[in-house]
């Protein structure tokens, strides 16, 4: 949707004394949505939080409702009205194909009532945080996974991001399902013993494996809960062979995705230093050394110049920066300082 040609014109001060240009970033993922409103200096005026905003999981209506809820909470915190926003940038999990934009754009336009906005796949939020030119490769590994990159010509490339059925083998949901399945194999004798045969049933509130398996079969349950990803990380810290193997396998898969994106983009020298941006809860908050080592080993096999960058800021701030870019607002060190100061309390 085209945005207002407000350029660098200042429209005066609002009742709270904030500078005229106001932008918002909304990061919509598979488990939560975050919204942040900032002025043109990067001063954060308010933030909001809601549930799943991946329309492929929650459906368009529910996903957009969650985005709107997070944005409205941020507006209330800032004391601003919706019409006071100059631009809203959405970074959304599941916004991958023309069909996705075709269903999301009118749904969001109806909620924003004339406020200019843009939509990108959430993977590009991380790239913006690490590279003002948005050149390099970015991996997302949170509830689900995605991989993308951009070269200096502005060309982009991706590696799937559509779920397990379409070849993805990473992300929290995938890790939880794999842990559940292979723990059952261990329990019934098809694989060696693992700490997970005790820890997974306990984490889910069952007295043991037999009770858990019967419950899932009796109720036709076909997916493991996301919380098992944390169980795997904890067991890996205690040296569990299966948990370590699962994290290593996922790291290799993520590295393969990164090298695939690099191959599709082309145009980079083998030793040219480029950012490999690692985002999402598993890569940012989790950061298990076994997973990271496997990831970097596989990715650098094809391009030794890849330099891992793990943003300290949440992806939503990448969306805010992209909103500023759309309004021709120059960003500086003080902008990131404002973000960092605010993020500490989020």
Q: Using 50, 70 and 90 to split pLDDT, how confident is the model at 257?
A: very high
pLDDT (0 to 100) of residue 1? 33
Note the pLDDT of residue 5: 30
- Residue 39: closest CA among 10, 53, 19: 19
* Each residue's pLDDT tens digit, 39-54: 999 999 999 999 999 9
With cut-offs at 50, 70 and 90, classify the pLDDT of residue 345. Answer: low
Confidence bin at 248 (pLDDT 50/70/90) = very high
- pLDDT of res. 17: 52
Q: Which pLDDT does position 8 carry in this prediction?
A: 31
Sequential DSSP letters for 149-184: EE-TTS-EEE---S-GGGT---SHHHHHHHHHHHHH
Tally of residues, the chain: 346
Structural domain 22-121+327-343, CATH architecture: 2-Layer Sandwich (3.30)
This prediction's pTM: 0.82
How are strands ordered across the β-sheet holding 87-92? 44-50, 33-39, 22-28, 87-92, 117-121
Nearest residue to 42 (alpha-carbon basis) of 343, 291, 346: 343
Average pLDDT over residues 30-38: 94
Cα distances (angstroms) measured from residue 7 to each of 21, 316, 325? 10, 23, 11
Q: Which of the four CATH numbers 3.30.420.40, 3.40.640.10, 3.30.9.10, 3.40.50.1980 does domain 125-311 have?
A: 3.30.420.40
pLDDT at 125 over 90: yes
Same CATH fold assignment for domains 22-121+327-343 and 125-311: yes
Nearest to 327 by CA among 20, 81, 71: 20
* pLDDT value of position 12: 37
pLDDT band at 60 (very low <50, low <70, confident <90, very high): very high
The residues near 303 (Cβ < 8 Å, ≥ 6 apart) are 259, 262, 268, 270, 274
Give residue 2's pLDDT band: very low, low, confident or very high (50, 70, 90). very low
Query: Which neighbouring-strand residues pair with 345?
Result: none
| Residue 7 or 154, more confident | 154
Percent of the residues in the chain that have a pLDDT greater than 90, as a whole number: 76
Domain spans of the chain, in order of start: 22-121+327-343, 125-311
């Amino acid at each position: 949707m085209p945005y207002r040609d407000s350029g660098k014109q200042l429209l005066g001060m609002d009742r709270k004394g904030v500078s005229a240009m106001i932008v918002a970033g909304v990061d919509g993922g598979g488990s939560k949505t975050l919204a942040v409103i900032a002025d043109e200096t990067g001063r954060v005026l308010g933030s909001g939080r809601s549930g799943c905003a991946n329309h492929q999981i929650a459906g368009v209506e529910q996903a957009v409702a969650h985005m709107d809820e997070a944005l409205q909470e941020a507006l209330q915190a800032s004391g601003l009205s919706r019409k006071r926003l100059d631009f809203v940038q959405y970074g959304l999990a599941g916004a991958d194909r023309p069909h996705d934009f075709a269903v999301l754009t009118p749904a969001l336009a109806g909620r924003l009532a004339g406020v200019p906005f843009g939509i990108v796949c959430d993977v590009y939020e991380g790239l913006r945080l690490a590279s003002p030119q948005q050149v390099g490769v970015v991996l997302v590994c949170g509830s689900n996974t995605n991989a993308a990159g951009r070269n200096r010509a502005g060309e982009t490339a991706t590696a799937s991001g559509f779920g397990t059925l379409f070849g993805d083998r990473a992300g929290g949901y995938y890790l939880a399902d794999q842990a559940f399945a292979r723990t059952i194999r261990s329990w019934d004798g098809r694989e060696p013993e693992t700490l997970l045969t005790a820890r997974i049933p306990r984490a889910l509130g069952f007295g043991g494996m037999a009770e858990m398996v019967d419950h899932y079969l009796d109720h036709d349950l076909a997916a493991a809960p996301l919380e098992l990803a944390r169980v795997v990380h904890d067991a890996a810290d205690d040296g569990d062979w299966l948990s370590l193997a699962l994290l290593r396998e996922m790291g290799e898969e993520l590295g393969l995705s990164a090298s695939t994106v690099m191959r599709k983009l082309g145009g980079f020298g083998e030793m040219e230093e480029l950012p490999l941006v690692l985002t999402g809860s598993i890569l940012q908050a989790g950061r298990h050394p076994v997973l990271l080592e496997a990831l970097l080993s596989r990715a650098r096999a094809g391009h030794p110049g890849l330099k891992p960058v793990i943003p300290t800021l949440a992806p939503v701030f990448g969306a805010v920066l992209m909103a500023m870019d759309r309004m021709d607002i120059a960003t500086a060190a003080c902008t990131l300082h404002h973000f960092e100061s605010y993020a500490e309390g989020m």
